[in-house]
Amino acid sequence: MSILSSATLRSVTQQAPDLPGWSADELDAPELLLNRELSLLAFTRRVLELARDQRLPLLERLRFLCISCTNLDEFFEVRVASVRQRMQHGATQPGPDGLTPKAALEAIRSAVLEMVEQQYWVMNEELTPALAEQEIRILRRSEWKRRQRRWLHQHFRQEILPVLSPLGLDPAHPFPRILNKSLNFAVSLEGQDAFGRDSGMALVRAPRSLPRIIRVPKSYTRGPNDFVFLSSVIHAFIDELFPGMRVRGCYQFRVTRNSELFVDEEEIEDLARALEGELMERGFAEAVRLEVATNCPDPIARFLGSKFGLTENSIYRCDGPVNLNRMSAICDLADRPDLKFTTFQPHTPKALASSSNLFAAMRRRDWVLHHPYDSFQPVVDLLREAVSDPSVLAIKQTLYRTGVDSVLVGLLVEAARAGKDVTVIVELRARFDEQANITLATRLQEAGVQVVYGVVGHKTHAKMMLLVRRERGHLHRYVHLGTGNYHQGTAKAYTDWSLLSANADLAQDVHRIFQQLSGLGRVQTLNRLIQSPFGLHRFLLEMIRRETEHSRAGHSARICAKMNSLTEPDIIRALYEAARAGVEVRLVVRGICCLRPGVPGLSDTIRVRSILGRFLEHSRVYHFDNAGQPETYAASADWMERNLFQRVETCFPILDARAAARVLRESIELAFADNRSAWELGPGGDYHLVYPNEGETELAIQDVLIAEAGDV
């Protein structure tokens, strides 16, 4: 059962439209769209609900609580920052959903206030006691035994005190710049210092180099899994930073700042250098939220808010540590595999696992892999084989998010040093990975790789790899296309689709897109791929309208799609039109969904589900029944304005009928059979968890696919 009250749900959703006989022009009515920000908050609420789900392993529930906090951080850094900027610039025009920026911020605050309250309630009342029952204890200051306090005091003096630098506030020491999301303490003091100063206030920053969770040695406690927050230790011994003075109060606080980077790409000559300059200032950008401990007096909270340019409406009180997401460290520190998800071995098709020549395997047929149930290793092995194969002349690849120390990056470096022609499109502007990607690009360039930063004004979000090989005197091309990133870590934690193919049409299309990204020239006609920003939006509208016409002509018509987010108004209106023509629409949308399903006379035939579980649902799949001649596609693009108009994306067909059926089943059909981890969206923007009917077997899509991967 949801921990959120019906009042909260009413405060963050709009009433479902209830007007008969919608006409074509009424499809533009703002009431037909849900607010994007509130929909994203609804996703974070669903993650928070997983922290309460007693069917999940306990440490995984703790991890979901921390993920909900991290999601909320990013929500403020990006979405709230954007809405605030619109309001500050004087924007009063309502958005597509009819909410003005001011109204949206008011609704956001109402929802976030209760969400924060519930996050700390889950930690204090549910998870902390449940962890204690499993002998994983989070010791509060009031619970410290004498021996524990003595050890923590010694630890403070030896490991913490030497790196603390308190700052007394006075005319010579004005309020400092506070780094985004850093842990800080406002300390209220009484008395004069050695120089006769009596400002009454000091600040203490918790150094980022110190772990936020401290394990208490077993010899000083009851078990190996007793932990203390760094904030508790600093709070307990804060007086040692101010000898001879009386500490009247110590209050945690944390500020969240706008994390969007602005670079005028038309006015710069070196994108990497410009981004590096912006990154240095990101941590000190405009503040959007202030978190303070619940015991912080109102005057001090207002004083802190004023220093960040924030009013009471941007201050949130926390019944516990303000950096609650740091509790995720306990999931890794506690050696309790019985309280975590069981490990499983991803499946590798035998023909790929045993093949000494992946190029030959790809010539025989296309290979479709569903990660993480199918291993990502064949993609790595394909690149490794290309590096060592003297017949491979060129390698081209896009990199959006990947680690600098990634095996794939190492192979690209090795290929360049071996004399192969290697071109890599590195998207420097992948949010929160900008610095890592700049470092990655530098490493590649130093090895002789031709690095391209994509296209000014458009992020390169497509996931493509092209290998050019000489065979019997002719050049042949092989491709990998994916819905996810070239990151081996996320390939184990995100659900995504990969296609390995030697199809000449697909390979030529990928070659043309690489040529377009690295060189100059007009848009080229593609054989099989559909690309944004040039044709994907139009293609999707055409496919939806084709299903609409099929239904009106009495043919079978169905649209199925899976994505992270659905916000684009033209597509939503086209789906409404399809539903009014009787088209069955099944959508699996993990996060934001601005479409209202189930509105009488408008979207009766549309159902929307969100799947939340062990893995992050990340794949994008589009399926159209096409009057008995179905077409199935996978893509890198969500149905959002940014993906369709402001990014370079690819949508690729699954040409093999058996593979297409598998993609449809594992992405859509199982999601709508799920009665364990599926949330159904209602017309008012509220989600409800789907439960088994009486006598029905419980089914969770991710559990089914894990089991099937182990049985292959």
Peptide bond into 533 cis (omega under 30): yes
Name the token pair of 634.
């996978």
Show the beta-strand stretches assigned E in 403-462.
Answer: 421-426, 450-452, 459-460
| Spatial CA neighbour of 613 closest among 668, 671, 562, 563 | 671
Candidates 60, 54, 52; CA nearest to 337 is 60
Task: Provide Rg for the chain, Cα atoms.
Answer: 27
For residue 97, what are the contacts with CB-CB under 8 A and spacing of at least 6? 14, 30, 33, 34, 35, 36, 594
Please provide the DSSP assignment of 270-312 as one string: -HHHHHHHHHHHHTTS-EEEEEEETTS-HHHHHHHHHHTT--G
CB burial of residue 113 (10 Å; 0-12, 13-18, 19+):
middle
Residue 631, SS3? strand
**Catalytic positions, written as ranges:** 461
- Report the alpha-carbon distance of residue 583 to residue 576 in Å, rounded: 9
Task: Tell me how far the alpha carbon of residue 372 is from its chain's centroid.
Answer: 17
Neighbour count for residue 364 (Cβ, 10 Å): 10
> Residue 454 half-sphere exposure, CB side, CA atoms within 13 Å?
25
Cα–Cα distance, 100 to 93 (Å, whole number):
6
